[in-house]
Amino acid sequence: MTPGDLVDAPTVNLVMALTVGVLYSVGFYLMLHRSLMRVLIGVVVLGHGTNLLLQLVGGPPARVPIVGNSPPETFADPLPQALALTAVVITFALTTFLLALGYRSFTLIGHDEVQDDLEDRRIARIKHPAAPLPTTGDDDRDSGDDDRDSGDEEAR
């Protein structure tokens, strides 16, 4: 298997390529949301897309795994499988971390939306005094529950 062969003769079938494409688009779309739950699902979907991609680069489907006494040409390439396995573990660990973060955000703030940056808004206000005030302008260390209100204000 030389590099040139793979480039000239694509081994990926269209259905799989489209599946990967759809998984990527859905994943990116979900990651653009403010709610951490949607971001989380986006990460999971995107992770699946990536793992599928890793599987696809290992050659055409329906080859046997690298066990037994079959001739080496019939084996599936084991390296992408090893890479995908590692990637699955990593994505899994980070998914649980994001879940924990979302839950923590829910207990502290009451929702899991990514907040506006108070400091950014303060600086924006220097130029445009009409922009909404950071509700906790006095104390940027501990913004507490007020964030909820300011977030809604922004949304309107």
Partner 1 sequence: MTALPTLPVLLPILGAALTVVVGASVAAQRIIALTTLSAVATVAAVLLAAADRSGPVVAALGGWAPPVGIALVADRLSALLLLVSTLVALAVLVYAISQRIADYGRRMASSTFYPMYLVLSAGVSLAYLSGDLFTLFVSFEIMLTASYVLITRRTTTQTIRAGMTYVTVSLLSSLLFLTAVGMVYAATATVNLADLSERVATLPPGLRTVLALMLMVVFGIKAAMVPLHFWLPDSYPNAPAPVTALFAGLLTKVSFYAMVRTQTLLFPHDGPWTLMLWFAVATMLVGALGALAQNDINRLLSFLLVSHIGFMLFGLGVFDARGLSGATLYAAHHITVLATLFLVSGLIVRRTGTVALDRMGGLLRTSPALAVLFAIPALTLAGIPPTAGFVAKLQLLQAGAEAGPGPVAVAAVVIVASFLTLYALARVWVRVFWGKPAPTVEDPDPDDELEVGTARTPWPMYAATAGLVVVSLAIAAFAGPLSGVTGRVGEDLLARDGYRVAVLGSAP
Q: Which residues pair with 113 in a beta bridge?
A: 35
x/- binding map, residues 40-59, to partner 1, per CB under 8 A? ---x--xx--x--xx-xx--
- Pick 43 or 131: Cβ nearer partner 1: 43
Residue from 13, 117, 149, 153 binding partner 1 (CB under 8 A): 117
Residue 27 CB coordination number (10 Å) = 20
Positive/negative CA dihedral, 147, 151, 154, 156:
negative
Contact 13, 55 (CB under 8 A): no
Task: Write down the least CB distance from residue 14 to partner 1, Å.
Answer: 16
Task: Write down the least CB distance from residue 96 to partner 1, Å.
Answer: 11
Two tokens, residue 143: 């913004």
Mention every residue, 6+ apart, whose C-beta is less than 8 A from residue 112.
35, 36, 37, 102, 103, 105, 106
Task: Write down the least CB distance from residue 43 to partner 1, Å.
Answer: 6
Q: Where are the beta strands (DSSP E) in 12-154?
A: none
User: For binding to partner 1 (CB under 8 A), which residues are involved?
Assistant: 1-4, 6-7, 27, 31, 36, 39, 43, 46-47, 50, 53-54, 56-57, 77, 79-80, 83, 86-87, 90-91, 93-94, 97-98, 101, 104-105, 108-109, 114-115, 117, 119-120, 122-123, 126, 139-144, 147
